[in-house]
Structure 1
């Protein structure tokens, strides 16, 4: 494992590519969700042991230092080679910065390496049946434990929780005070705690990626509070931009690989349609490159990443619309990868904040257009 810093991103990419060429991490056949999660653990484990998974993270949590741009390059190379499903790969980029910023340092030092190394999977308990896009109205409650115990008792329900059935931990938002933002706190909950029930949800593309999670008087130690009581909304606002930064860089690489596959599959030679799909991808890649540069320079991301989300969702849906149009019958009549990915792309304007919510954020917080 190399411990010395790289002189440039190009040097990092070059050595990484050489290592990947020498180590076969190709996914096995029969790539259902169980196999995808197992493959994710396999890839992370190999990259951790070789050191690649540790670059871009601070040494305090087992990293080797360097900027987040190193992680972006790693994710891009993994996605371009199809080594891990990009959606579930991204959970590291969402949850690890949150733990580093809000967990007690000893807790982050103990648990973050388990996620980075593939030893564990984690999930994110935000959305609820009555408060999806309106996160501030969540009703899952955490109350101080009775009988003099030092901790919290959590009761409520979460929904659309990705990979909850595989997760060892959950970054959970719960109400510890009154209504509104100030009454929300965040916790890192062990998913094997008594009182937790997970029920997978089958999506229209045939995968149990999401789940309902029920909390019935679940005991959470005081040491698992992230930040201070009432910091939950601030944590959520810090976390969400990470869903739209480094995560997007490898998602874009994945979509470029699908455009290449569209051409390889002998699609109809429609230059306008193919050019439009390519231009949308190029536009969001340019936008994301600027976001990666700001992140690497130490800037704190904020509402401007909603622009990235809008562009990526539009590019993804246009790409798969183009595939449907230029490969007649492949989506409608064949039960293969194009059908599955086309159906999944319909959610691109919903997950991570709907397109309508993102446009409201741009209007109100970036353009100062007010509430109407």
Structure 2
């Protein structure tokens, strides 16, 4: 299916199902309600075929360019039918599991992910290993035909609602070369996810512990000590369709602010936010085009990460200025939703690799400058 034809079809489907695709007010402030709405919507999209386009037939898809998936996410987030944080998880983790997972396992579970019957999370960061993943301490030791995993992960988004988790663990020597990746069922004995309440008063993140967790050998993703390759694949996917749909989400919120601009400084702030957002969108579009030709983003995608962090903070800082105290003290569902987004934007220059580290990557890999001290 061609991209224009697909976009037209998705828009018509969304218009026809407007009541079903519009989330309740609770979904704006409750993670559980947000995920319940997403699951229902995914089932509808899957059963009508839209959720399957852009994925290979061997994983339950209908084929076609990955751009189709980016378009679907863009159309959904551009009208706030789904929230980008939860919608992004299958796009972040799905391609790597499809690429590195055992074919029989992938064929069995992947359609469940696409249909919303399963939700997966990402176990990378640790209390003392965030952006520096090479220093992670979670271990996996082979015992017969099972791997025994021990350790703790931090900031695992939606882990308390997830069916499975892609976990990085040390299986060899120190550093990135001794890391392996596993697909772990969250109901395995020894796995415990403890929600962390954020400054936006939502429980999206978790501290997730693994105590003598037995993982079947066929749940290894890729090769033993080859987890860094899996991790890089996942991190590259974060810079792809995920950023594109995040840009659409920001555009939706910026559009809500247009009628609040006046002829004073607020209009200037709104204009600057638009400038930053559309500069990012132009860069992200080029990234989408490279992905469509089979090239995963490399170091140049760090530019995308820096730009989206700046745009996101500009959008919601502008909202705080124009909404006149609603973010600080409003108690309506709309005010709570804006507060959640503003608080989340504070972390935009931290999650997915800090802006400082991204600038180091740009300096050393693209500009060939000496690494900072």
Asked if these proteins are the same fold (TM beyond 0.5), I'd say yes
Q: How far 1:175 moved relative to its partner?
A: 0.4
Alpha-carbon distance between aligned partners in 2 of 1:68 and 1:130, rounded to the nearest angstrom: 35
If the length of structure 2 is used for normalisation, what is the TM-score? 0.95
Aligned residue for 2:229, secondary structure, equals helix
Q: Is the Cα–Cα contact under 8 Å of residues 59 and 110 in structure 2 kept in the other structure?
A: yes
Q: Does 1:28 align with 2:49?
A: no
Aligned twin of 2:119:
121
For structure 1, the residue ranges without an aligned partner over 5 or more in a row are 1-5
Q: Is the Cα–Cα contact under 8 Å of residues 267 and 327 in structure 1 kept in the other structure?
A: no
Q: Does 1:168 align with 2:163?
A: yes
Matched ranges for 1:350-361 at <5 A: 350-361=350-361
Aligned residue for 2:202, secondary structure, equals coil
Aligned residue for 1:220, secondary structure, equals strand
Q: How far 1:54 moved relative to its partner?
A: 0.4
Aligned residue for 1:214, secondary structure, equals strand
Aligned twin of 1:9:
3
Alpha-carbon distance between aligned partners in 1 of 2:231 and 2:294, rounded to the nearest angstrom: 19
Q: Does 1:329 align with 2:325?
A: yes
Aligned twin of 2:238:
243
Q: How far 1:328 moved relative to its partner?
A: 2.1
Alpha-carbon distance between aligned partners in 2 of 1:305 and 1:131, rounded to the nearest angstrom: 22
Q: How far 1:286 moved relative to its partner?
A: 0.4
Bigger drift between 267-276 and 341-350 goes to: 267-276
Alpha-carbon distance between aligned partners in 1 of 2:26 and 2:206, rounded to the nearest angstrom: 22
Q: How far 1:361 moved relative to its partner?
A: 1.0
Alpha-carbon distance between aligned partners in 2 of 1:44 and 1:91, rounded to the nearest angstrom: 13
Q: Does 1:276 align with 2:258?
A: no
1:318 to 308, 314, 317: 314
Q: How far 1:358 moved relative to its partner?
A: 0.8
Q: Does 1:368 align with 2:368?
A: yes
Q: Does 1:228 align with 2:228?
A: no
Matched ranges for 1:1-372 at <5 A: 6=1, 8-23=2-17, 24-31=20-27, 32-145=30-143, 149-264=144-259, 266-269=260-263, 270-335=266-331, 336=335, 337-372=337-372
Deviations 1:53-102 (A, max 9, x none): 00001001001111111011100111012111111100111101101111
Computed over aligned residues only, the root mean square deviation of the Cα atoms, in angstroms, reads 1.1
Q: How far 1:326 moved relative to its partner?
A: 2.4
Alpha-carbon distance between aligned partners in 2 of 1:159 and 1:14, rounded to the nearest angstrom: 40
Alpha-carbon distance between aligned partners in 1 of 2:142 and 2:269, rounded to the nearest angstrom: 58
Q: How far 1:160 moved relative to its partner?
A: 0.3
Q: How far 1:39 moved relative to its partner?
A: 0.8
Alpha-carbon distance between aligned partners in 1 of 2:172 and 2:107, rounded to the nearest angstrom: 29
Alpha-carbon distance between aligned partners in 2 of 1:169 and 1:338, rounded to the nearest angstrom: 30
Q: Report how many residues are paired.
A: 362
